Amino acid sequence: MFYRLSGTYHTSYEADRKLWKIPTDRWLVVAVLLLALLAPLYVSPLYLGSYVLPWVIWSAAALSLTLLMGLAGQLHFGFAAVMAIGAYASIHLVRFGVPFELALLLSGLIAAVIGAVFGGAALRVKGLYLVMATLAMQYLVDWVVVNVPAISGGAHATLRTPAVSFLFMPVESLAARYWLALGWAVLLTVFFMNVKRTSFGRALVAIRDKDFAAAVIGVDPFKTKLMAFFTSSFMGGVTGAILAFCFYRAVTPEQFGFNVSIQLVAMVLVGGLGSVIGSWLGAGFVLLAPIFLTNLVSGLAAAGWVPVSQNFLSHLPLMIYGAMIIGFLLLEPLGLAKIYDNIRKYFLVWPFRHARS
Amino acid sequence: MAYFLELLISGALTGLMYSLVALGFVLIYKSAGVPNLAQGALVMTAGYAVWLVMAWGLNVWIAIPIAAAIMFGFGLVVERLLLRRMVGQPVIMVVMLTLGLEILLRGLVPGVLGSTPKPIDLGIDFAPIIIGDVFINRTSLYGGIVALLLVGASLLFFRTRLGTKLRAVSDDHVSSWAVGISVERAIGISWGLAGIAAVVAGALWGSSQGVDWTLSTLLFPAVAVVILGGVDSVPGVVVGGILVGVLGTVIPGYLDSVAGGSTRDVVTSLIILLTIMVRPFGIFGREDIERI
Amino acid sequence: MTFLRKLALTTALVAGLSAPVAAEDIKFGLLQDFTAVYTFVTGQYNQGQQDYLALANAEGILGEGNSVTAIVRDTGNQPQRGIEAYNRAKEEGAVLFDFLSTPVSAAILDQAQADKNVVITPAHGRGDASDGTVFPYVFPMMPTYWAQAANLIEHMKNNGGLQGKKIAIVHIDSPFGREPGPILQALSEQEGFEFQAFPYASPGNEQSAAWSEVRRYRPDYVLIWGAGGGQAVSVKTAIQNGIRPEQIHSVIWLAETDAANVGPAMKGVKRFEATAAGTDHAIIQRIQEKVIDAGKGSGDQANVGTSYYNLGVATMAVAVEAARLGLEGGQPLTGDTLKAGFEKIAGYDAEGLMPAVTYTAEDHQGGGAGRVSEWDGEKWVPVSDWHAAYPDLIRQVIEKSAAEYKAGH
């Protein structure tokens, strides 16, 4: 009723290959996109600056990572390091005099090249060993950033982003920074939805499902895995640069530590591996849930409803965050994307009960 | 030369202390095939447990067995409630689940018991053992000996009836089921044993640096140890530990003042990377043969 | 966009619960790291801050009808959570912020300057923020790490001399650990000593390689520059390597918890302190009487009088004094009036809890005075008087670094 059809029945291959198989989905996306574009007009600076903006940027990061983890099945526990390379490269390039637009691309390329080198480990191992190898990469990059003052920015290891403009729009006001970040995130989203329908995307999926089998049907695992790391690191590198210029505007090594890598993996998993909507929902959930919990708990404490120590209160969000990761993995391993899908299917055929996707 | 010797010895002993953390990881991986990235947090929890029991006014040597009993039970509970439901799931799910457990413990334990560093006094003399110009730290010496004893005990344990069952389980879950071994129980016991190993590690590391959440950061060197030694090899823990400790002490001992920064983490990272590139299953690990 | 609606609802709930009580309620945002890197200090520090604010309210220090409320949040040392907490506290009307986290402070500094909100960075953050001409709204308030290093060096000079001596600086491998470097470099030329740096890997639970090397360097004095559990490991490993406790000099981050951890061997170790420890001070006595005994304390009573507790008390004593002076003009308290209040503070010593501080439009460090104290087995005993060491040199370093910041770095 809500979707004005009783399920999806395709009569041609074109219809089945469509990005939006149901018109209502398309209108929903257009509506959300419009709402997102106009957000600076109706969302207060508090929410735009500290909720919506980081959500959009981290969604882009989660999309970059889920290309690797969800589509190509290559685990990566050092993705924050990739973003750090992009962030630091972009700042140094802009300071060197490279125009911002070009610096974004170049920083993505630098991150992609270094990321692909580390992805080399993936050519040899997979699963747990790949987790460990990328973890080691995280520590190596951290060390280089902290120990080379020329990269990290001298005594205080804080690097401020220079004033820049993107296509003649100064990246200064909150709205401008938000639009730039949104533009990048939307671009990644569109890319991600379409890459699944290309030969490259199908090669990635084949590698994920079984790399030996993929080799048998003519997909070169060597090339495809490297391409996966390269593409994903490029996206991650540019996202890191966007994060530096649009959100933090002063970069320190701690912003790209190991715990950030874990957060990114949590976003991808809680959202649902390899899902576009899951990346958005997962990023929002993992990023904002601790913040909401902190505020809620502090609010309750201020009202005197939870008579416990400050120490316990401040650790409570951490506990709930850990418990939520565990809970998702145990109860809904397919993540928020699956929950969204269930709801959508319910409404697809409402008031009846059963649906085909 | 004395300098080199001293670095060598203190490195080997420190490495054996890392082995204590790594042992729990290997025990679980060997029987359940589960990479337990929460082992660092288990060590932290165990350190807090020892401190808590001591706070009841008990002597440390009584507190450690009690804490070991608590942690054994805790390991059983974790396995029963969380890991048993992950059987057959992809490795990424298990890895993330143990990381979720790590986050949970890092919130819960310091949140309830307090986050300022807690002391554990094992009564070990401060004065070093001096041989020529070589100083040997007593805490790490005893830690190293305990690590060797514990690994030896684990090896013996795998020769007992129960240990044989555990080895069978590590070989093949389905076949073990078929011959009537309770796979669930075996895996549960391996978690309990990892809890006991964590108590020893927590007490020793806690006595040297104090008990707080930073104990969970011991996971990183422990990971290097298990990767180098082989994720499913108990003797590998000793050899891997000594190698990681020696390389991570001798190389920084000569390089740090030149490099102007601590190179230990770089050495540890490179050990992980090189092992994975050259011999992914480690020195003693069993190579996985993958079927299509 | 049900999400946004939910968000608005939650906010309404939270805002409604923590709505202002008094009409002239001043808010301080104590948005600190309770769960990550700074856990070793934050608990006691924040407890001292909250207890002092309770005392200020009980005594009506800010004048009739005025009260001060703390907005306390955990940031977990994560910049993005710090930014959110800052923006929210700003919305709730906070005029002063204390993050007690270098990365969070770094991420917010520019924004807070643009918003004209006062940020205090006692014992953390950028040392060059002491230059009030470049950082008009940032108050390091207490001796920077540079001033601390200079103070310790001067203590060595007065107790054993420096000419021809050797100093080993054993530090955590992070920007914080490298901070005393430039001061040691400058002073070694001036005072004729040599020094060498020995870094150890973060978080410092294992430092044997560094100390084996230190022992062979045969230092006359040792400076340890770390924080948290790593400090206890430093002291222990030093003593095990035959270094006498009297030779060890620590940055401000060495306190009672570390002493409990090291045990009796700690006796004789020296540290820099910016505020006195112990309960034997007028302010701490009154807190005990009017806040703790009245059941209004914010934490474990055993913490009262510890070094970090007193540090927290001192920060809020200065901040409340600044607020009081800022309100004198009869205008409501904003970032600007609070800044003016800070710059009116002259010779304030929190009734003997800390050295007398004077802030000017140029000097936001307040002179940089501190002292050295020694652990006598039970408590910290001062072994020097409150004073600022090498103030001209420190000022020079501050101005040079601030000028670089101004140039966009």
- Residue B228 domain flag: no
pLDDT of C135: 94
Record: contact B209-C230, CB cut-off 8 A: yes
B107 in C contact zone (CB under 8 Å): yes
**C120 has which bridge partners?**
C98, C139
Work out the pLDDT band at C19, boundaries 50, 70, 90: very low
pLDDT of A356: 57
SS3 content of chain C, % helix, strand, coil (to 5): 50, 15, 35
Contacts of A147 in chain C (CB under 8 A): 173
Record: contact C240-B128, CB cut-off 8 A: yes
Record: contact B208-C236, CB cut-off 8 A: yes
Provide the shortest C-alpha distance from residue B120 to chain C (in Å): 7
Contacts of A129 in chain B (CB under 8 A): 227, 276, 280
Record: contact A330-B220, CB cut-off 8 A: no
- Average pLDDT taken over every residue of chain C: 89
Contacts of A303 in chain C (CB under 8 A): 17-18
B29 in C contact zone (CB under 8 Å): no
B93 in A contact zone (CB under 8 Å): yes
Token pair in block for residue C381: 């005993």
Query: Which of C83, C93, C82 is closest to C33 using CA atoms?
Result: C82
pLDDT of A155: 67
Question: What is the count of structural domains for chain B?
Answer: 1
C212, C234, C237: best to mutate for the B interface, most B CBs within 10 A: C212
- CB contact set of C64 (below 8 Å; sequence gap of 6+): none
Torsion angle defined by CA atoms of residues B252, B253, B258 and B264, in that order, rounded to the nearest 10 degrees: 10
**Model pLDDT for residues B199-230, shown as the tens digit of each residue:** 999 999 999 888 999 999 999 999 999 999 99
What is the mean predicted confidence (pLDDT) over A8-28? 81
Contacts of C309 in chain A (CB under 8 A): none
Record: contact A131-B292, CB cut-off 8 A: no
- Strand extents, DSSP E, chain A: 159-160, 165-166, 169-170, 250-251
Instruction: Give the nearest chain C residue to A253 (CA atoms).
Output: C103
**Model pLDDT for residues C334-372, shown as the tens digit of each residue:** 999 999 999 999 999 999 999 999 999 999 999 899 999
Report whether C27 contacts C292 (CB < 8 A): no
pLDDT of C155: 96
Record: contact A269-B114, CB cut-off 8 A: no
Pick from A75, A133, A320: CB nearest B273: A133
Contacts of A133 in chain B (CB under 8 A): 272-273, 276
pLDDT of A159: 86
Record: contact C34-A302, CB cut-off 8 A: no
Report whether B242 contacts B16 (CB < 8 A): yes
**Model pLDDT for residues C145-160, shown as the tens digit of each residue:** 999 999 999 999 999 9
Record: contact B276-A133, CB cut-off 8 A: yes
Record: contact C212-B135, CB cut-off 8 A: yes
pLDDT of C350: 92
- Residue B225 domain flag: no
Provide the shortest C-alpha distance from residue C90 to chain A (in Å): 9
C203 in B contact zone (CB under 8 Å): yes
User: When comparing pLDDT for C286 and B263, which is higher?
Assistant: C286
Sign (positive or negative) of CA dihedral A281, A284, A290, A296: negative
Instruction: Using alpha carbons only, give the angle C111, C116, C117 rounded to the nearest 5 degrees.
Output: 80
- Average pLDDT taken over every residue of chain A: 89
What is the mean predicted confidence (pLDDT) over A276-289? 93
pLDDT of A152: 83
Query: Which of A212, A76, A71 is closest to A133 using CA atoms?
Result: A76
Provide the shortest C-alpha distance from residue A300 to chain B (in Å): 17
User: When comparing pLDDT for A122 and A94, which is higher?
Assistant: A94
A123 in B contact zone (CB under 8 Å): no
Contacts of B140 in chain C (CB under 8 A): 208
Domain that holds residue B168: 2-124+132-215
A47 in B contact zone (CB under 8 Å): no
| B193-232 residues touching C, CB cutoff 8 A | 205, 208-210, 212-215, 217-218
What is the mean predicted confidence (pLDDT) over C287-313? 92
Pick from B107, B220, B290: CB nearest A322: B107
Token pair in block for residue C329: 């003009």
- Residue B229 domain flag: no
Token pair in block for residue C5: 């609606």
Pick from C237, C239, C261: CB nearest B117: C261
Provide the shortest C-alpha distance from residue C46 to chain A (in Å): 9
Pick from A140, A266, A273: CB nearest B266: A140
Provide the shortest C-alpha distance from residue B169 to chain C (in Å): 36
Contacts of B210 in chain C (CB under 8 A): 229, 232, 257-258, 261
| A48-77 residues touching C, CB cutoff 8 A | 49-51, 54
- Residue B80 domain flag: yes
Q: Catalogue all structural domains in chain C, each as residue range(s) with its CATH number.
A: 24-143+277-359 (3.40.50.2300), 145-273+376-382 (3.40.50.2300)
Could you check whether the bond before residue A333 is cis, i.e. omega within 30 degrees of 0? Answer: no
Task: Give the rounded distance of the alpha carbon of C129 from its chain centre.
Answer: 13
Pick from A160, A254, A294: CB nearest C79: A254
pLDDT of A306: 65
**Model pLDDT for residues A36-51, shown as the tens digit of each residue:** 999 999 999 889 998 9
- Chains with 3+ CB–CB pairs under 8 A to A are B, C
Contacts of A292 in chain C (CB under 8 A): 7, 10
Provide the shortest C-alpha distance from residue C92 to chain B (in Å): 27
Record: contact A294-C81, CB cut-off 8 A: yes
**Model pLDDT for residues C247-267, shown as the tens digit of each residue:** 999 999 999 999 999 989 999
Could you check whether the bond before residue C199 is cis, i.e. omega within 30 degrees of 0? Answer: no
**B134 has which bridge partners?**
B131
| B253-272 residues touching C, CB cutoff 8 A | 253, 256-257, 260-262, 264-265
What is the rounded CA–CA span in Å between residue C374 and residue A43?
55
What is the mean predicted confidence (pLDDT) over A162-168? 88
What is the rounded CA–CA span in Å between residue A42 and residue A36?
10
The residues of chain B scoring below 50 in pLDDT are none
Pick from B96, B112, B265: CB nearest A312: B112
Could you check whether the bond before residue C203 is cis, i.e. omega within 30 degrees of 0? Answer: yes
pLDDT of A317: 84
pLDDT of C12: 43
- CB contact set of A117 (below 8 Å; sequence gap of 6+): none
- Is the model's pLDDT at A94 over the cut of 70? yes
| A135-164 residues touching C, CB cutoff 8 A | 146-147, 152-160, 162
C78 in A contact zone (CB under 8 Å): yes
**Of A103-112, A135-144, A291-300, B68-77, the least confident:** A291-300
Contacts of B104 in chain A (CB under 8 A): 318-319, 322-323, 326
